[in-house]
Structure 1
Amino acid sequence: MAGINLREIAMETVIEILENGQFSHIYLKAVLDKYGYLEKNERAFLNRLVNGTVERKLQLDYIIDSFSKTKVKKMKPLIRTIMRMGVYEIYYMDAVPDSATCNEYVKLAKKRGFAGLSGFVNGVLRNIAREKSHMEFKELWTKYSMPQWIVDKWMADYGKEQTEEILKGFLEPEELCIRVNLNKISRKDLAERLKKQGISVRICDTVESACYISDYDSLAAIPEFSEGLFYVQDYSSQLVSYMAGVAAGQQVVDVCAAPGGKALHCGELVKDGTVIARDLTEQKVALIQENINRTGATNVTAQQWDATVLDEDSIRRYDTVIADLPCSGLGIIRKKPDIKYNQTEDSLAELTKLQGQILDTVCQYVKDGGTLCYSTCTINKDENENQVEAFLKAHPEFEKKEMQQLFPNKEHDGFFICVMKKN
């Protein structure tokens, strides 16, 4: 569209994420919604350029620092962003020749008041373009753009070979996973309806409610989404309700439920049972309620409650307690690429402490013979296996029944699930 500079929009978005601390998945969605009138291919370009630049930031900085006398950290934020985006396009996008890419970023620097640095931008980007076939990434952190401390942690937990497989998994292209509301429509019938709209559908072989969709423009434009026939929910997240054994007639509480995917799935499975979906803030509860309303779930109730605070009325009341707790998010880096730059070893320690506090509280809500299902979207052992081990030591009335650590690949994110029975 005339007058719209996609690279400039991408640049402003990347600045907000990497320089001003906006969350990538939230801010980029808002930008794509704002420019919803753009063509599908333009929105795809914008999405890939922003996500790719954020995802590959460490590697891009390593490349730039190899060619520039002025190091990335010393550059002005706008120039730093222009350089990162230019290098990302040169290495990972082939929509235009490298020379044209260099020209576009030189023009952008001039347009934004940095004509004096346009020669610098041009010279460094052209050198990088010429030498890209000779560039080597010998260390895992540069090859996969992952902070060194995270690489070290996973190497200690899983060894080099498994760590590299994990890092590769985060860079695998991902289809959107949806959960079909099987109480309203079969996967086959939904797939037929979506295919008539030109949407590609692949039915998952291992989770009975899951499908993967691609070649769509926006979810809001799909009538079946607005009708509540499906919900966007990752494979791993859908697995929680099945592994927990949620069944018809049960009373279930999801103690950290926003945005409500697991609670709604439980609502479908309990049929005439009930589900309480809780979270900490009014905003999160409103988000759960919005999804309850859209899907028409009559047996799911949203409540505001701090999971660290004991609810006396809930003691020994529930057949199943779903505890998908706040975590480092290091299993969903593909969806939230900035998360790897925002976590620290100290923040991990704080989260591990919080998880322990919540588990000690909410385990009291489980009936005798009932189930506590603990899950996280991370692959950090301190938050997962080690957390479970500490919990079981402190609570001998619980017994571990099933535990699974999923690593990121084309099918799913990194995710941890542990099902414990109360004797």
Structure 2
Amino acid sequence: MTTKNTVRDIALDALLEILEHDRYSHIVVGRTLDKFRYLSRQERAFLKRLIEGTVECRIQEDYVIGQFSTVKIKKMKPVIRTILRMSVYQLFHMDSVPDSAVCNEAVKLAMSRGFSGLRGFVNGVLRNIARKKETVTWPDRSVQYSMPQWILDRWDRDCGKEACAAMLKAFSEPSGMTVRVVEGLEPEQVIRSLKEDGAAVTELWPDRRILRLDGVDQPDMLRAFQEGKIRIQDLSSALQGYAAGFKAGDTVIDVCGAPGGKAIHAAELVGPEGHVTVRDLSENKILLTEANIAQTGLSNLTAEVRDASRFAAEDEEACDVLICDLPCSGLGVIGRKPDIRYHASEEAIRDLAKLQRTILETVWKYVKHGGTLVYSTCTVTREENEDNRRWFLEHFPFEAVDITGRFGDGLKDATLKEGYVQLLPGAHPCDGFFIAVFRRI
């Protein structure tokens, strides 16, 4: 049986990659869980939570350490800094782990990594925190929710303080896994199969086809996944597919589509008479996309390397629907990728908004007259969403499409404005996501 100390060793290596070498957390977590598939279900759950939680709560952890350590956190050895961060996360957020065990295992980690001389420092800081943790108070929302202040200020301004508070609460809660039942299948039988395999199933929207699964860390062990009856896809992403209004036989181009989730949904909706071409900038992304396509068995879907910012004359007026789910700041998926909050910046948001405009002014001619362009992002910023939507309508021969009827009762009417929707965590059971639909005149 693998010990928790070994699991903490694995977590420490992953956290050093993420926190000290600037690797993306979702990639590191996925690779780590895949590498250590032999761990028990309980150990894998502990490992995943410890890595993701430590990354998410870094601001809070650093604040606590700063209150009890005479050594500034920036002056610490990277290994010691990371051990303290992951230990503080356990002390404050993992009640099932005794404080004494947290301190003891931290000392063992320091010693095993060649820092025996600092074991007294690690032990002293953590035991002092453990004794006095009930007296710790958070000075502001930024520390309480480990969210950079500039993001809070932006959300207060753009979304309102109430919506900001709801997002913070939603991002701090477990997100679970969301799957979509393959189009054409009866959801009831799939739900029954998932429950028999031990998944806790919550039916989201629409028509019982989008499901949240809890208690699942290896989806490929589910019969429904093995049999190709479900796809891993967030509700927000699936809603984009329904907003597009695909028809049987449509020709579709997805210009920035890796790893292929939206294109796969589109291929199911247009049927065998239609065709979807999914593109992305790098060969590695397309290889991953092709692997995902191969798992589906769909024959009406192809992937290719293409730079969306470069015009392809052969594609002019070639598609009925153009999917433009464009590179963005990703602030809507912080719940799944907690380190995004630390990579984002106001400058990056401005640069991404410009890139989105560059791509849109390049690809709009691919749409047939009367055809549809769907613009979406997985973020919550005015510049990348509402401002770019307004700019597009002002500069190109398109009109807004009323998408209200395409969501049924799944969304509150108040969220649908002038042919677009801004999904907000806390208000909706999904990632933060923006969808706007246009028709070429």
* Common fold: TM-score over 0.5: yes
- Equivalents in 1 of 2:206, 2:371: separation in Å? 25
374-383 or 243-252: which moved more? 243-252
- Equivalents in 2 of 1:268, 1:205: separation in Å? 18
1:342 maps onto 2:356 in alignment: no
- Equivalents in 1 of 2:437, 2:216: separation in Å? 36
1:418 maps onto 2:441 in alignment: no
CA apart distance, 1:147: 1.3
Matches within 5 A, 1:6-405: 6-183=7-184, 185-206=185-206, 209-271=209-271, 272-399=273-400, 401=402, 402-405=419-422
Q: Secondary structure of 2:160's match?
A: helix
Whether the 8 Å CA contact 2:167–2:424 is kept in 1: the answer is yes
Whether the 8 Å CA contact 2:425–2:432 is kept in 1: the answer is yes
- Equivalents in 2 of 1:67, 1:246: separation in Å? 58
| Equivalent residue letter for 2:15 | V
| Equivalent residue letter for 2:279 | R
- Equivalents in 1 of 2:217, 2:162: separation in Å? 37
- Equivalents in 2 of 1:325, 1:186: separation in Å? 32
- Equivalents in 1 of 2:114, 2:146: separation in Å? 30
Instruction: Return the TM-score normalized by structure 2.
Output: 0.92
Corresponding residue of 2:425? 408
| Equivalent residue letter for 2:76 | M
- Equivalents in 2 of 1:229, 1:197: separation in Å? 14
1:365-386 deviation digits (Å, cap 9, x = unpaired): 1111111110000001111111
CA apart distance, 1:344: 1.9
218-227 or 4-13: which moved more? 218-227
CA apart distance, 1:216: 2.6
- Equivalents in 1 of 2:145, 2:246: separation in Å? 38
- Equivalents in 2 of 1:208, 1:349: separation in Å? 38
Residues 207 and 305 of structure 1, relative CA distance in 2, 3 Å threshold:
farther
CA apart distance, 1:101: 1.2
| Equivalent residue letter for 2:436 | C
- Equivalents in 1 of 2:229, 2:124: separation in Å? 53
CA apart distance, 1:213: 1.5
Whether the 8 Å CA contact 1:370–1:421 is kept in 2: the answer is yes
Residues 420 and 397 of structure 1, relative CA distance in 2, 3 Å threshold:
closer
CA apart distance, 1:192: 1.4
Q: Secondary structure of 2:438's match?
A: strand
Q: Secondary structure of 2:431's match?
A: coil
Instruction: Return the TM-score normalized by structure 1.
Output: 0.96
- Equivalents in 1 of 2:94, 2:172: separation in Å? 15
- Equivalents in 2 of 1:345, 1:278: separation in Å? 28
- Equivalents in 1 of 2:40, 2:293: separation in Å? 31
Residues 75 and 158 of structure 1, relative CA distance in 2, 3 Å threshold:
same
Corresponding residue of 2:413? none
CA apart distance, 1:120: 1.4
Residues 2 and 208 of structure 1, relative CA distance in 2, 3 Å threshold:
closer
- Equivalents in 2 of 1:191, 1:165: separation in Å? 29
CA apart distance, 1:116: 1.8
Q: Secondary structure of 2:47's match?
A: helix
| Equivalent residue letter for 1:86 | S
Q: Secondary structure of 1:417's match?
A: strand
Q: Secondary structure of 1:383's match?
A: coil
- Equivalents in 2 of 1:416, 1:140: separation in Å? 25
Residues 187 and 303 of structure 1, relative CA distance in 2, 3 Å threshold:
same
Whether the 8 Å CA contact 1:399–1:422 is kept in 2: the answer is no
- Equivalents in 2 of 1:140, 1:134: separation in Å? 17
Q: Secondary structure of 1:120's match?
A: helix
Whether the 8 Å CA contact 1:207–1:239 is kept in 2: the answer is no
CA apart distance, 1:248: 1.2
Whether the 8 Å CA contact 1:219–1:225 is kept in 2: the answer is yes
CA apart distance, 1:207: 5.9
196-205 or 137-146: which moved more? 196-205
Q: Secondary structure of 1:331's match?
A: helix
Whether the 8 Å CA contact 1:174–1:411 is kept in 2: the answer is no
CA apart distance, 1:152: 2.1
5+ residue gaps, structure 1:
none
1:306-351 deviation digits (Å, cap 9, x = unpaired): 1111111211221111100000111101111111111222222211
- Equivalents in 1 of 2:132, 2:207: separation in Å? 46
Whether the 8 Å CA contact 2:194–2:223 is kept in 1: the answer is no
CA apart distance, 1:300: 1.0
Whether the 8 Å CA contact 1:140–1:164 is kept in 2: the answer is no
| Equivalent residue letter for 1:404 | V
| Equivalent residue letter for 1:248 | A
CA apart distance, 1:209: 2.8
Q: Secondary structure of 2:331's match?
A: coil
Q: Secondary structure of 2:74's match?
A: helix
1:107-160 deviation digits (Å, cap 9, x = unpaired): 211222212211111111112112222211131111110112222222222233
- Equivalents in 2 of 1:24, 1:213: separation in Å? 21
- Equivalents in 2 of 1:261, 1:23: separation in Å? 20
| Equivalent residue letter for 2:62 | D
Q: Secondary structure of 2:368's match?
A: strand
Residues 44 and 397 of structure 1, relative CA distance in 2, 3 Å threshold:
closer
